[in-house]
Amino acid sequence: MTTDPEWTLELWEALPEDVRRGHELSAGRLVARPRGTPGHQRAVRRIANALEAAADKAAVDSRPGLATDSELDVILWDVPLTIREPDVAVYTCLPTGQRRVHADSVLIVVEVVSPGSVADDTGRDDPRRGLVSKMTQYATAGIETYLTVFLRPDDSVELRVPFDADVTFAQLSF
């Protein structure tokens, strides 16, 4: 009988960078995270740029120390170890010397939904498997703003804001 290893942060960080980049840990299970299409990557870059500009403006106005990144590991919780890589994350800057981003410093996460990631990105949890969708995990970890972005054939973007937000639909074109 084969069992999966008990994932620790040290074991995760011992994996080669190229292996980590294509995977996440969800409730202690290694999950493949395939690279998005060129349209997906373009949307991620444009959304990250727009959020970074907004974060920079917020820093000038009143809130210093925000960073915006893509391809960033976010530690949601330690037991069972859950590390997600949102397409875009806005978070408070890390103190000098700290290199790990934990959920409590993340303000916004964005997932650009691909055909293979709809269930995981949009919150359709299977009760037999537990809280495995990103929407559920981000909310459980205390990340208050989770945006899902759906690509359209004309390269416009459909942005859906979940839960009881004042805005439930917005269309963006970059």
Nearest Cα residue to 83 out of 3, 22, 130: 22
Mean pLDDT over residues 49-70, rounded? 79
Q: For the segment 100-156, what is each residue's pLDDT rounded down to a tens digit? A: 899 999 999 999 887 777 767 776 655 555 556 888 889 889 998 888 888 777 666
Give the distance from CA 105 to its chain's centroid: 13
The residue type found at 148 is T
| pLDDT category of residue 78 using cuts at 50, 70 and 90 | very high
Residue ranges per domain, the chain? 9-172
As a dihedral over the C-alpha atoms of residue 142, residue 128, residue 119, residue 66, rounded to 10 degrees, the angle is 10
Higher pLDDT, residue 169 or 84: 84
Mean pLDDT score across all residues of the chain: 80
pTM of the entire predicted model: 0.81
Q: What is the pLDDT of residue 126?
A: 59
Q: Which H helix or E strand runs over 48?
A: helix 38-61
Say yes or no: domain 9-172 is CATH 1.10.1040: no
Which residues on adjacent β-strands are paired with residue 150?
113, 158
Which of the 8 DSSP states describes residue 116?
G
Q: What is the pLDDT of residue 101?
A: 94
Q: Under a CB-based contact definition with an 8 Å cutoff, are residues 138 and 110 in contact?
A: no
Q: Under a CB-based contact definition with an 8 Å cutoff, are residues 125 and 131 in contact?
A: yes
How far apart are alpha carbons 46 and 41 in whole angstroms?
9
